[in-house]
Chains A and B, each alone.
Chain A
Amino acid sequence: MLSGILIFNQKGENLIFRAFRNDCRPRLADIFRIQVISNPQVRSPILTLGSTTFSHVKHENIYLVAVTKSNANAALIFEFLYRLVLLGKSYFGKFDEEAVKNNFVLIYELLDEILDFGYPQNTETDTLKMYITTEGVKSAIANNPTDSSRITQQATGALSWRRADVKYRKNEAFVDVIEDVNLLMSATGTVLRADVNGQIVMRAYLSGTPECKFGLNDRLLLDNDAAGPGGSTRGGSLGGGENKMGVGSAKTRAAAGSVTLEDCQFHQCVKLGRFDADRIISFVPPDGEFELMRYRATENVNLPFKVHPIVREIGTTKVEYSVAIKANYSSKLFATNVIIRIPTPLNTAKTTERTSQGRAKYEPEHNNIVWKIARFSGGSEYVLTAEAALTSMTNQKAWSRPPLSLSFSLLMFTSSGLLVRYLKVFEKNNYSSVKWVRYMTRAGSYEIRF
């Protein structure tokens, strides 16, 4: 498995060097620096030299490198490196060169704990935080034998993600449904690709060991339990839509507002066997915030914004833009932080913009006109007209016309039409709990070609 973990800054200085096996030598750091960091031609995250393989991930201004000597599991290595980044972020807020330099002792400690002989062990942030702590909070518990035996029980137990003795006066659970909608639209206005990557984040403040059951308006589930509580009331926005899956009674359900999830991925607390058998999501949640599930939906995606760009290149000295954007959701809702990035040719000298709403600004460093609309209420339509004057160049190279891109966030709206139907909490103390649900749709990669 892994022979060592190395961390470098952008200059190629070795910040962390932790060997887990005998075959990881200090000079490998130099080889990585020469072969990858100072070699601009490298275009692959994996490089094998001799029998040594370097797999690296870049985050902020540091390189995280895993060294292996065997035919290791590449997927696991990268996932582990990303987990390390996640750990770093949750420990230090930001995981960059500064953080690594200031906390190198802690990082060595962490590496010692999450890898043994190059095999990943427990990488759950919450569990680790119980006995590997930053300097401010002294690890009093870790030095106390009884406490630490409890910790170690948890670190290896079947419920490695939850302490047993959690207590809250008020039992609450917050569910955030966050959807990233991806769009790729061709220059002629046909939708090449539209799909939704959703995640459901939960913040659970529940006492004891609660067993939760979670229900969505998932089409397959609704088909399964005909006796389920009545469907949703949001059928309108979904429309009939075509029915690719062709699951028996699906067409009737589609009208009632169910959603077809192409695929779901769950936090390790979810009992996968249960879901596989009867599509019921049941779990014992970790304490605090965690990502319960991720899902993907590709059918009947509601696009919150329609964009019509008209871009004309006039001769070799001028480009004219006219971009219209229309909000395609109920007028009761409004999107915030709508940002439209309109690419300009590399040799743009100066631009003039006029907008019917919001502000537009030319950003020469990104070759973009950035149009910001702070609040975009449903149903409205805004227009930008702009002109970019170009400097003449000796070797006229065609402009590649990168796609126009959008970012926004829109509350109480889900592009896929997904709804939380219920969240039930069962606990032996039988307390009552309060649950909150919030929906949000953001732009993933929302690109329009022109």
Chain B
Amino acid sequence: MAMNKIRGAFAVPRKGETFELRAGLVSQYAYERKEAIQKTIMAMTLGKDVSALFPDVLKNIATTDLEQKKLVYLYLMNYAKSHPDLCILAVNTFVQDSEDPNPLIRALAIRTMGCIRVDKMIDYMEEPLRKTLRDESPYVRKTAAICVAKLFDLSPGMCLENGFLEMLQEMIADPNPMVVANAITALSEIHEAAPETQALQVTPNTLRKLLMALNECTEWGRVTILSTLSEYRTSAVNEAEQICERVAPQFQHANPSVVLAAVKTVFLHMKLVNAELAKNYLKKMAPPLVTLVSSAPEVQYVALRNIDLLLQKQPEILNKELRVFFCKYNDPPYVKFQKLEIMVRIANDRNFDQLLAELKEYALEVDMDFVRRAVKAIGQVAIKIESACERCVNTLLDLINTKVNYVVQEAIVVIKDIFRKYPGYEGIIPTLCKCIDELDEPNARAALIWIVGEYAEKISNAGDILAGFVEGFNEEFSQTQLQILTAVVKLFLKRPDKAQGLVQKVLQAATAENDNPDVRDRAYVYWRLLSSTSDSNAARNVVLSKKPPIVTTIHSLPPTLLEQLLTELSTLASVYHKPPEQFVGQGRFGADAVQKAAIEEQLQNARENPLAAAAAAAVSGTAPPQQQNNVENLLDIDFDGTAPASAHKEPNGGVSGLEGLAGTPVRVESPAAGAPAGSNNLDDLLGVFGDSGAASSTAASAPPNGGAGADLLNGFGGLDLSGSSMSSPPPVPGPSQPKKTNEDIMSLF
């Protein structure tokens, strides 16, 4: 009966619902009141505004029914802000409850008080908090410990004045492990919000207590303690040894987050212990890491991303475990992609046979994205392991023979990279040239044209092939056009007799009929070079110069970033492979100053036309700093008029400075997602800015070398916005980029 009524609340709202609820809330029968409270909470969940019922709900706060009390408290937490004055009426009950003989009720009272974020409430919190921090029940103490962090969030001054911080620090010595864990949790939160308080200082004494509590507290407490231990920087070898020794048993815990936290702690402290011992620990952490791969897919994903980081630092740890990373048919795609990456990292000259057979199997599956990555992985193995190259090329040829369109295209792109590393495979060029008509992607076409140009002297019909491309020059994508230009010039330099007419034609088409500045510029440069009379070898030296061989196509993070990310293991940063500043707003703890600044900004926004301002900022790309912040605020979904959140984000130099300037929304998608670049699927909220932002970022801020150049130049090739950082730098702009810039720069002189 009651069930049906509750479910009824999910139905279409009837007329005068608030009225009915109010009648229920003040009913003379207890059960009716309770039911009405439940319905009110239900309406609240559905997003209806039931704040008007505040006084009536409040009347039900004094009850002996624990369940009802909890519901009223839940309501209070949600709507306290809308009726700050009325909250005072609840204070009495809270204070009474915090002295109740029942520890559950005491804890509930103090827990809820901390969540009612009303200034007036804070004044009444002092006494109950002081009492509960010294409560006899550990359950109440552990709740009070967290409450100190809540209070600090609301009013740091009051928290410090009343000595709560010191009380919290004393609680590290509490006999109950859970209280210790929560005290650490609260302290580290305060420490992070306000480092100047020095809230959490690990001394040898506290270290001992932490290690002791570690073995006894709940799994979540262990995670807290382990992350504190991992942040602790010691220089004493014996301390590091002690930490490793005590933490290593946690590798065997059933909870994956404990295992990862333990791995992180040992990994970071291992640097100090002697090499022999460190090797031992590395050996010890391998099996638990492998076990993580059989957990739930989402956990597995986090684990895989972390394993990827660990492998970049310590490539040998999982040498023997290749098979574990074989993809299952029904693994979700994000797991499959990550497994591919890891398999390539583990590949060595003993296991590549097995790996290649497996990759070939994947390349015959139906998921197009996965197949492409599998083909790419084959190329990465070839370039990583010299002895595997021949097998890889054969595998790729097998794949080309399947005639599946996207497999062929990807295979050609990959083979181009192999040519750049190993000479001696020219024999397969005729096979490649046979596929010429099937290629419809710019990358694949560009790759094939590059091959034709590079080996023009060995391909008898190179002239005919290129002539075909020159024919449709103006219909090609610009990256293909660039390759056609270069290839034709190469052909001309190698066999001047055959390509005289062709080179004329292509230069004409590129300069006169093309409106892409990159293509035009390159054509002009070639034209100059070729017609230069002073040095007849100039063109030859530039265009046919010896190319630096590529070392690897496996994407690796820059060392400094890697070091930073290793200290962030198992956090979101480790999943994104990006430093946390890139996706976490600054000042998220809503300090007063930030709140005020945000409110002022909001007012100013209201005065001006916010849309126009933002759009202008986005388009001009050189907005003054203040306006820029407005843009950020508008784009940040926190910004909802009532109380602006902490989204006071400053463009943090280097990588993200670019986005800040252009006003592009920082949308971080998990790298495996491989979403189409940037902002085209932003929701209506962001759409306006998204589009203009993305457009202007290429138009206004990209250097003439093309979009990818910007990333490459600042050395963070993997950190581009689009989230495609998982893959190696995009095939053509990537491997051939150095060559291209080389040529361009050299030709300028």
Seen from chain A, the residues whose Cβ lies within 8 Å of a Cβ on chain B are 1, 13-17, 19-20, 22-23, 25-29, 31, 34-35, 39, 41-53, 55, 57, 68-76, 78-82, 101-102, 104-105, 108-109, 112, 116-117, 119-124, 131, 139, 142-145, 148-149, 151-153, 155-158, 160, 184, 186, 192-193, 195, 197, 244, 262-268, 270-273, 275-276, 291, 293-294, 296, 398, 400-403, 445, 447, 449
Q: Can you pick out 21 interface pairs between chain A and chain B where the beta carbons lie within 8 Å of each other?
A: A20-B115, A43-B672, A43-B673, A44-B301, A48-B583, A48-B668, A51-B583, A72-B571, A82-B296, A105-B41, A108-B74, A109-B70, A119-B182, A119-B185, A153-B138, A156-B179, A157-B138, A192-B326, A192-B358, A195-B324, A244-B320
Most buried by B among A29, A72, A116: A116
A142 and B66 contact, CB distance less than 8 A = yes
Are A23 and B104 touching (Cβ within 8 A)? no
Q: Are B640 and A25 closer than 8 Å at their CB atoms?
A: yes
Task: Tell me which of A35, A105, A131, A400 contacts B366 (CB under 8 A).
Answer: A400
Q: Which of B634-676 contact A (CB under 8 A)?
A: 635-638, 640, 645-647, 649, 665-670, 672-675
Of chain B, the residue at the smallest CB distance from A265 is B254
Closest A-chain residue to B34, C-beta based?
A105
Are A152 and B140 in touch, CB under 8 angstroms? yes
The answer, yes or no, to whether B67 is at the interface (CB within 8 Å) is yes
How far, in Å, is B346 (CB) from chain A's closest CB? 14
Check B665–A73 contact: CB distance below 8 A.
Answer: no
| Nearest CB in chain B to that of A266: its residue | B252
Distance (Å) between the CB of A288 and the closest chain B CB?
A: 17
With both beta carbons as reference points, the residue of chain B lying nearest to A199 in the complex is identified as B254
Q: Which residues of B contact A42 (CB under 8 A)?
A: 673
Q: How far is the CA of A17 from the CA of B153 in the complex (A)?
A: 22
Contact A102 B669 (CB under 8 A): no
A120–B218 Cα gap in the complex (Å)?
Answer: 10
B257 and A108: CB pair below 8 A?
no
The answer to whether A73 and B223 touch across the interface, beta carbons within 8 angstroms, is yes
Query: B617-649: which residues lie under 8 A (CB-CB) from chain A?
Result: 635-638, 640, 645-647, 649
**Could you say which residues of chain B place their CB within 8 Å of the CB of A41?**
675, 681
Q: Which among A42, A43, A112 has the highest number of chain B CB atoms within 10 Å?
A: A43
Describe B's contact surface by its main secondary structure: helix
Docked complex Cα distance between A244 and B143 (Å): 50
| Given A27-B640, A105-B71, A272-B249, A50 contacting B635 (CB threshold 8 A) | yes
Q: Which of A50, A123, A184 contacts B585 (CB 8 A)?
A: A50
> Which chain B positions have C-beta within 8 A of A29?
47
Q: Are A50 and B666 in contact (CB under 8 A)?
A: yes
Q: Nearest Cβ distance between residue A146 and chain B, in whole angstroms?
A: 9
Q: Which residue of B lies closest to A111 (CB)?
A: B74
Across the interface, do A121 and B104 meet the contact criterion of CB distance under 8 Å?
A: no
Instruction: Rank and list the top 8 A-B pairs by shortest CB-CB distance, nearest first.
Output: A152-B139, A44-B670, A263-B287, A51-B585, A71-B580, A276-B249, A272-B249, A50-B636
B1-53 interface (Cβ within 8 A of A): 3, 6-7, 10, 38, 41-42, 44-47
Which B206-248 residues sit within 8 Å CB-CB of chain A?
A: 215-216, 218-220, 223-224, 227, 246, 248
Is B716 on the interface with A (CB-CB < 8 A)? Answer: no
Q: Which residue of B lies closest to A400 (CB)?
A: B366
How far is it, in angstroms, between the C-alpha of A27 and the C-alpha of B117 when the chains are bound? 19
**Which residues from B are CB-within-8-Å of A45?**
297-298, 301, 334, 670
Bound Cα distance from A130 to B259, whole angstroms: 29
Q: Is B256 engaged at the interface, CB distance under 8 Å to the other chain?
A: yes
Q: Which residues of A contact B257 (CB under 8 A)?
A: 73, 75-76, 79-80
Query: Which of these, A15, A51, A447, contacts B647 with CB under 8 Å?
Result: A51
| B176 CB within 8 Å of chain A | yes
A360 to nearest B CB, angstroms?
21
Give the docked Cα–Cα distance between A20 and B366 (Å): 43
Chain B residues contacting A156 (CB-CB under 8 Å) are 138-139, 142, 176, 178-179
Would you call A108 and B636 a contact (CB within 8 A)?
Answer: no
B737 to chain A, nearest CB (A): 28
A108 to B404, CA, bound (A): 53
Contacts of A71 in B (CB 8 A): 568, 571-573, 580, 583-584
Q: Which of A50, A79, A275, A403 counts the most B-chain CB atoms under 10 A from its CB?
A: A50
Of B140, B246, B252, B645, which contacts A275 at CB under 8 A? B252
11 extra interchain contacts, Cβ-Cβ under 8 A, other than A43-B673, A143-B64, A152-B107? A19-B78, A22-B590, A52-B638, A72-B572, A75-B260, A101-B10, A152-B103, A193-B326, A265-B253, A296-B291, A398-B404
* CB <8 Å contact, B215 and A272: yes
Query: A31 — which chain B residues lie within 8 A by C-beta?
Result: 637, 683, 685
How far is it, in angstroms, between the C-alpha of A326 and the C-alpha of B495 when the chains are bound? 66
* Whole-angstrom CA separation of A241 from B387 in the bound complex: 30
Q: Compute how far the CA of A13 lies from the CA of B294 in the bound complex, rounded to whole angstroms.
A: 32
Residue of A nearest to B179 (CB): A156
The A-contacting residues of B in range 268-318, CB under 8 angstroms, are: 287-288, 290-291, 294, 296-299, 301-303, 306
Chain B residues in 8 Å Cβ range of A148? 102-104
| A51 & B649 in contact (Cβ 8 Å cutoff) | yes
CB neighbours (8 Å) of B248 from chain A are: 276
A26 CB to nearest chain B CB (Å): 6
Q: In the complex, are the beta carbons of B114 and A273 less than 8 A apart?
A: no
Q: Is the CB of B249 within 8 A of A78?
A: no
Q: Check A153 against B139 for contact (C-beta < 8 Å).
A: yes
Kindly identify which residue among A73, A82, A160, A273 contacts B218, using a CB–CB cutoff of 8 Å. A160
Per the bound structure, the CA–CA distance linking A294 and B46 in Å amounts to 41
Task: For residue A101, give the distance in angstroms from its CB to the closest CB of chain B.
Answer: 6
Inter-chain CA distance A104–B5, complex, in Å, is 13
Q: Which residues of the other chain, A, contact B70 by a CB distance below 8 angstroms?
A: 108-109, 112
- Please determine whether B252 and A155 come into contact, CB atoms closer than 8 angstroms: no
Bound CA span A272–B302, Å: 24
- The answer, yes or no, to whether B177 is at the interface (CB within 8 Å) is yes
- Whether, in the assembled complex, B356 has its beta carbon less than 8 Å from a beta carbon of chain A, the answer is no
| Cα of A108 to Cα of B260 in the assembled complex, Å | 29
A23 touches B290 (CB 8 A): no
Residues of chain A lying within 8 A (CB to CB) of residue B638: 23, 25, 50-52
Shortest distance in angstroms between B667's beta carbon and chain A's nearest beta carbon? Answer: 6
Residue of B nearest to A398 (CB): B404
Q: Which residue of A lies closest to B260 (CB)?
A: A75
Are A16 and B117 within 8 A (Cβ)?
Answer: no
Does B101 lie at the interface of the complex (its beta carbon under 8 Å from any beta carbon of A)? yes
Within 8 A of A (CB), among B172-196: 176-179, 182, 185, 189
The answer to whether A39 and B681 touch across the interface, beta carbons within 8 angstroms, is: yes
Closest Cβ–Cβ distance, residue A128 to chain B (whole Å): 12
Q: What chain A residues lie within 8 Å of B546 (beta carbons)?
A: none
Q: How far is the CA of A445 from the CA of B666 in the complex (A)?
A: 40
In the bound complex, do residue A296 and residue B260 qualify as a contact, i.e. CB atoms below 8 Å apart? no
Contacts of A123 in B (CB 8 A): 218-220
Closest partner residue, chain A, to B246 (CB atom)? A273
Closest to A48 in B: B668
Q: Which residues of B contact A291 (CB under 8 A)?
A: 254
Residues in A neighbouring B600, C-beta threshold 8 A: none
B392 at the interface (CB under 8 A from A): no
Our pick among A23, A263, A449 for the contact of B288 (Cβ within 8 Å) is A263
For residue B139, which residues in chain A have a CB less than 8 angstroms away from its CB?
Answer: 152-153, 155-156
A49 to B647, CA, bound (A): 12
Q: Do B298 and A48 touch (CB < 8 A)?
A: no
Contact B572 A262 (CB under 8 A): no
Name the distance in Å between B681's Cβ and chain A's nearest Cβ: 7
If the complex has contacts A119-B146, A402-B329, are A74 and B358 also in contact, measured as CB distance less than 8 A? no
Structural contact, A445 and B255, CB atoms closer than 8 A: no
Contacting residues, chain A, for B252 (C-beta < 8 A): 263-266, 270, 272, 275-276
Question: In the complex, are the beta carbons of A400 and B364 less than 8 A apart?
Answer: yes
A51 and B588 form a contact (CB under 8 A): yes
**Bound complex: CA of A27 vs CA of B575, how far in Å?**
26
Q: Closest residue of chain A to B637, judged by CB? A: A50
With beta carbons under 8 angstroms apart, the residue of A34, A69, A263, A447 that contacts B328 is: A447
Is residue B333 within 8 Å, beta carbon to beta carbon, of the partner chain? yes
Q: Is the CB of B302 within 8 A of A23?
A: no
Looking at the assembled complex, report how far the CB atom of B425 sits from the nearest CB atom of chain A, in whole angstroms: 27
Say whether B570 contacts A73, CB under 8 Å: yes
